[in-house]
């Protein structure tokens, strides 16, 4: 079993990193239910503070987000020093990023002879108490573009305290008993069109990953950090579930579940999907809602930079734990999408055990996991914790939740026709993705695909549609084909290139097509077949796979 620090790019984020819509107005460009909801905010009927709030760090926040809980509530900002001002306390240091081209750091970029310069925004603390000693003069803006960054700082600071205190006071975790950096409203100026562009993502970035920030942007960070941006329609800092999601990464996923490893089915990136699943679970455990990103990940608007479209964000990208995703049919090898398969099982366990017992069981399980833990390992750990901590009925409920999602004994083989159906294409890493490479001259995919060969068939054609990866070069794929329903299996020796597979045939893909043909006078083995994707070239992605019987043609 080989472990690689692969595919945890940039950060453990809420969505894939994108550059969002631009604005030429610096103000506009500034800028993850049932059970027990554990928060320290007031209820829906919270009233304005009376005189006793004077000289206390009171503030207005959304309990969840502007859509779920549209009325702001009054809270006290916890863990600030006795003499407070900027939002730096025992467990958080919060700043927003100001669009100021004269003070930002320039980052020259060259894309094959096409040169441009990005200028970073400037992190600084803007939310300050008023004359009465409170922050109550800072209110939620009527529109995202009206935010002066102060409200985003208040939201970030408060909800970081909520989830810190949840993990410490309820579960005894003190891993984050030190100020954790957080920056809101992150953006960069593009000289090509003289516009400020946001980075449509929210992410926890461990200090080891700071050098992987998009385009080499540098926001003056030196340690672990939570970094938020948004779009012209959504400021991710306004969504408490997203803040909880990223903080859960910081406390649960900084040292575990953040790598790719090789196993008997090829590359395995399910640790990353688990990391996202647990971050989503503990976010909803606190909000009491079943979805993450109800505000931040819906109706984002189309992404563009300098008029160049980068795709749309108009659909519903939030993740709801009441869906019915199953393994393997809903696997995509994209960690956020695949996380829903596991997180929904966790939500089912919460409904069965209640919030207190479920949180205890699930946290115990995740703390036992490593960078080489996948769905099966995590499910087994949860079932064992349910028995040890709660009892036999809890064990039965946990097992049933995982069985209903197909997680127990799930093989990473999905029907070929399902590839691309959920949206995310199937990533295939380049042959130079990691070193040393245990595979001889190729890198296998994260998933395999199954198909059927009919009785009497002598020839089938397999069409694999691919898209080039970040480097721009197309993949060079070979298909490792095996008769039967079992995955193509890999075994490992010692040293680079020592891995072997048990495929029956290996055929090269030429112009997106490969043909499997029986010997003269014979027919192909009828029934199920499995294919593994071997990439001998640059990283790319597979968008569709189609298999056609050529016998009668």
pLDDT at residue 280 greater than cutoff 60: yes
Q: Where in the chain is the domain with CATH 1.10.390.10?
A: 256-289+321-410
Banded model confidence at residue 89, pLDDT cuts 50, 70, 90: very high
User: Between β-strands 413-415 and 448-453, what pairing exists: parallel, antiparallel or unpaired?
Assistant: parallel
Span 131-161, pLDDT tens digits: 999 999 999 999 888 888 999 999 999 999 9
Give me the half-sphere count of Cα atoms (radius 13 Å) on the Cβ side of residue 515: 10
CATH of domain 413-549: 2.60.120
5: helix, strand or coil: coil
Q: What per-residue confidence (pLDDT) applies to 366?
A: 98
Banded model confidence at residue 312, pLDDT cuts 50, 70, 90: low
Q: What per-residue confidence (pLDDT) applies to 428?
A: 93
81: helix, strand or coil: coil
Banded model confidence at residue 42, pLDDT cuts 50, 70, 90: very low
The CA-atom distances, in angstroms, between 464 and each of 113, 329, 333, 426 are 32, 18, 17, 11
Q: What per-residue confidence (pLDDT) applies to 21?
A: 33
pLDDT at residue 12 greater than cutoff 80: no
Q: What per-residue confidence (pLDDT) applies to 22?
A: 35
Q: What is the mean pLDDT of residues 268-286?
A: 98
Q: How many residues does the chain have?
A: 553
Greater confidence, 363 or 215?
363
Question: Domain 256-289+321-410 adopts which CATH fold?
Answer: Neutral Protease; domain 2 (1.10.390)
Banded model confidence at residue 308, pLDDT cuts 50, 70, 90: confident
**Phi, psi at 277, each rounded to 5°:** -65, -45
pLDDT at residue 379 greater than cutoff 90: yes
pLDDT at residue 32 greater than cutoff 80: no
Backbone dihedral region for residue 213 (phi beyond 0: left; psi -120 to 50: alpha; all else: beta): beta
pLDDT above 90 coverage of the chain, percent: 74
Residue 512 and residue 501 in contact, taking contact as beta carbons nearer than 8 Å = no
Q: Where in the chain is the domain with CATH 2.60.120?
A: 413-549
Q: Tell me 235's DSSP state.
A: B
* CA 532 – CA 482 distance, rounded (Å): 9
Q: What is the mean pLDDT of residues 451-480?
A: 88
* CA 4 – CA 26 distance, rounded (Å): 41
Q: What per-residue confidence (pLDDT) applies to 170?
A: 97
User: Between β-strands 260-263 and 58-61, what pairing exists: parallel, antiparallel or unpaired?
Assistant: unpaired
Q: What is the 3-state secondary structure (H, E, C) of 309-342?
A: ECCCCCCECCEECCCCCCCCCCCCCCHHHHHHHH
Could you tell me how far CA 70 lies from the centroid of its own chain?
26
Please state at what angle helix 355-366 crosses helix 375-389, rounded to 10 degrees.
130
Residue 479 and residue 420 in contact, taking contact as beta carbons nearer than 8 Å = no
Q: What per-residue confidence (pLDDT) applies to 344?
A: 97
Banded model confidence at residue 299, pLDDT cuts 50, 70, 90: confident
Banded model confidence at residue 307, pLDDT cuts 50, 70, 90: confident
pLDDT at residue 425 greater than cutoff 90: yes
Mean pLDDT of the chain: 88
H or E segment and range at residue 345: helix 335-353
pLDDT at residue 26 greater than cutoff 60: no
Banded model confidence at residue 221, pLDDT cuts 50, 70, 90: confident
Q: What per-residue confidence (pLDDT) applies to 300?
A: 77
Which segment, 165-169, 197-201, 252-256, is predicted with the most confidence on average? 165-169
Range scoring the smallest mean pLDDT among 14-28, 178-192, 212-226:
14-28
Span 496-542, pLDDT tens digits: 999 999 999 999 999 999 999 999 999 999 999 999 999 999 998 99
Q: What per-residue confidence (pLDDT) applies to 30?
A: 29
Q: What per-residue confidence (pLDDT) applies to 471?
A: 58
* CA 337 – CA 332 distance, rounded (Å): 7
Block residue for tokens 């970030």? 156
* CA 372 – CA 2 distance, rounded (Å): 9
* CA 416 – CA 328 distance, rounded (Å): 11
241: helix, strand or coil: helix
Block residue for tokens 């189609």? 546
pLDDT at residue 469 greater than cutoff 80: no
Q: What is the mean pLDDT of residues 72-89?
A: 98
H or E segment and range at residue 507: strand 505-508
Span 486-509, pLDDT tens digits: 999 999 999 999 999 999 999 999
Banded model confidence at residue 200, pLDDT cuts 50, 70, 90: confident
Q: What per-residue confidence (pLDDT) applies to 7?
A: 39
């Amino acid at each position: 079993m080989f472990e690689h620090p692969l595919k945890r790019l940039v950060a453990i984020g809420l969505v894939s990193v994108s550059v969002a819509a631009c604005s030429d107005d610096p103000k506009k460009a500034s800028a993850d239910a049932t059970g027990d909801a554990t928060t320290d905010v007031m209820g829906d009927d919270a009233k304005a503070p009376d005189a006793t709030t004077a000289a206390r760090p009171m503030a207005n926040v959304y309990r969840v987000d502007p859509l779920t809980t549209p009325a702001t509530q009054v809270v006290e900002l916890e863990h600030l020093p006795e003499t407070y001002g900027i939002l730096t306390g025992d467990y958080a240091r919060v700043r927003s990023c100001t669009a100021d081209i004269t003070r930002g750091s320039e980052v020259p970029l060259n894309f094959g002879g096409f040169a441009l310069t990005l200028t970073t925004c400037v992190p600084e603390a803007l939310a300050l108490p008023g004359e009465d000693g409170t922050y109550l003069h800072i209110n939620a803006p009527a529109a995202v573009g009206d935010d002066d960054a102060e409200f985003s700082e208040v939201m970030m600071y408060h909800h970081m305290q909520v989830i810190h205190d949840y993990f410490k006071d309820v579960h005894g975790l003190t891993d984050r008993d030190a100020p954790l950096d957080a920056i809101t409203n992150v953006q960069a100026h593009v000289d090509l069109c003289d516009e400020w562009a946001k980075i449509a993502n929210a992410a926890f970035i461990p200090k080891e990953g700071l050098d992987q920030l998009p385009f080499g942007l540098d926001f003056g960070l030196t340690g672990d950090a939570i970094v938020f941006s948004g779009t012209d329609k959504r400021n991710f800092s306004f969504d408490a579930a997203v803040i909880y999601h990223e903080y859960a990464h910081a406390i649960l996923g900084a040292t575990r579940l953040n790598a790719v490893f090789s196993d008997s089915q090829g590359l395995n990136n399910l640790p990353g999907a688990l990391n996202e699943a647990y971050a989503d679970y503990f976010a909803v455990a606190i909000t009491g809602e079943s979805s993450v990103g109800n505000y931040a990940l819906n109706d984002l608007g189309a992404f563009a930079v300098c008029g160049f479209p980068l795709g749309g964000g108009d659909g519903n990208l939030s993740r709801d734990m009441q869906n019915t995703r199953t393994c393997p049919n809903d696997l995509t090898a994209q960690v956020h999408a695949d996380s829903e398969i596991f997180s929904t099982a966790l939500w089912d366990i919460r409904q069965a055990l209640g919030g207190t017992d479920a949180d205890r069981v699930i946290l115990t399980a995740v703390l036992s996991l490593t960078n080489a833990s996948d769905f099966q390992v995590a499910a087994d750990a949860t079932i064992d914790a349910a028995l040890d901590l709660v009892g036999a009925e809890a064990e039965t409920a946990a097992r049933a939740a995982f069985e209903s999602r197909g997680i127990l004994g799930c093989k990473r083989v999905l029907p070929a026709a399902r590839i691309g159906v959920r949206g995310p294409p199937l990533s295939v890493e380049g042959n130079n993705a990691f070193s040393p490479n245990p595979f001889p001259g190729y890198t296998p995919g994260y998933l395999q695909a199954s198909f059927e060969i009919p009785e009497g068939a002598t020839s089938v054609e397999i069409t694999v549609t691919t898209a080039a990866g970040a480097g721009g070069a197309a993949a060079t794929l070979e298909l490792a084909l095996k008769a039967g329903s079992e995955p193509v299996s890999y075994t490992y020796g010692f040293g680079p290139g020592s891995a072997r597979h048990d495929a029956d045939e290996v055929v090269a893909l030429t112009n997106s097509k490969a043909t499997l043909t029986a010997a003269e006078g014979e027919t192909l083995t009828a029934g199920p077949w499995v294919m593994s994707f071997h990439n001998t070239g640059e990283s790319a992605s597979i968008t569709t796979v189609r298999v056609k019987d050529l016998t009668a043609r």
